[in-house]
Amino acid sequence: MIGWWRRRSQAARLEWYVRGSFYGQLTLSPVLIGFLVQLEVSRTALGVVVAGFVVHTVVCLLLVHAGIGSYLGLRPRPTGLILAGGALTVAGMALGFLAYPHATPGRPDGPATAILIVLVVTYVTALCAAVRPRVVLAVVVGSCLFSTVTSSAGAAIALGALLVPIVGAYRVSLWMLGVVRELDRARHVQAGLAVAEERLRFARDLHDVVGRTLSVVALKSELAAQLARRGREEAVAEMLEVRRIAQDSLTELRAVVGGYRAADLDVELAGARALLASAGIECRVIGDGGALPAELQGTLGWVVREGTTNLLRHSEARTCVVTLRTGADAVTLTMTNNGVPASDKIVFGGGLIGLTERITALGGTVTAVRTPPDGFQLLVSLPLLSAAPAVAA
């Protein structure tokens, strides 16, 4: 149970809390009315009253369930349940005052007043989740006026004093739930946009470097083909020029890829913190790699970039810890985050496969494991004495 709760997002936890608050109060109404009127009515009448309240409570519970979904935009407004709950409330109040029109001897009010108060409180609580506040307040005012006419001004004042805080508290809870859900959606969108922006930046750089060169290669190849058909010796020179251009393009392409793969470690750590913070994820860095060789810093910077991308794409993380430790003969970088459901399998996609191949070629190791209850840990270890250049050919 605890593990299931920890795997929920903040928005899901708050939604369960809000729903639980509504459901908890509503389910108390049959017990409450039985306690209030048990000494003023017969045993048979008490059974009828409690049974009626059970039916009324079930309708109000359904109204809350559907109303919260409507408030969050997940389903249409439950008009039928609103009308059914209102009809049962009015009918219950009317039957209460028909059955007990007078006050109980020795008491200021009779059982009908208690029935009215509990019915209205239950219905108004459920109504808070389904309609606008002004509609709920109109129902509150109407209930207080009805209580004034049928019971007493004191009962009306007590009813109003009870309902107004309830309406305020539950509407604020729903407002907070809506805000948190919106922030959660924005965080996911922002994370997706960050990954898409990185892809677009890489694609744009490749286009700028390779696109123009390939266009020139295509034109010169066509020219060489035309010259060869005519038996012109210039065709050889044109093809040699195509080879030179292709070699220059390969050098530029290596420089671009190297710029992505051999990033400075401090720059990548700072960028990861800023990116995760913008996505609502708290990131903490432990350790310093400033004294490491440039080759190792470049490789570990690429690890940080790949780990951050995977965290944003494949988890519901709220915290991330990056730990860098330098030993006598090896350096280890560990990225730990939460927000990975236990049901998800660890799959080595293209990013982790490429990372493993690169680190293995340098004599290092890559380990990806789960950490209880809902965590994920990426651990990369590299030897200090056999560091290789970080730029791939």
24 is in which domain, residue-wise? 7-184
**What is the rounded CA–CA span in Å between residue 17 and residue 10?**
11
**Residue ranges in the chain whose pLDDT is less than 70:** 1-7, 201, 204-205, 207-213, 215, 255-264, 278-279, 341-351, 385-393
Q: Is 106 found in the same domain as 30?
A: yes
What gap in Å lies between CA 239 and CA 246, rounded to an integer? Answer: 10
Shared domain check, 202 and 128: no
Q: Give the tens place of pLDDT for each residue, 335-351.
A: 999 887 666 566 655 56
Domain boundary among 220, 235, 261: 261
pLDDT, averaged across the chain: 83
Q: Are 78 and 207 found together in one domain?
A: no
Strand order in the sheet with 375-383: 282-286, 319-326, 330-337, 375-383, 365-371
**Same structural domain, 14 and 155:** yes
With H, G, I as helix, E, B as strand and everything else as coil, classify residue 33: helix
Domain annotation covers residue 388 = no
Q: In the listed set 184, 213, 233, which residue is the last one of a domain according to the structure? A: 184
Question: What's the structural domain count of the chain?
Answer: 3
The HSE-up count of residue 126 (CA atoms within 13 Å, CB side) is: 31
Is 391 within the bounds of a domain?
no
Give the domain-ending residue among 227, 261, 295: 261
Does the predicted model carry a pTM greater than 0.85? Answer: no
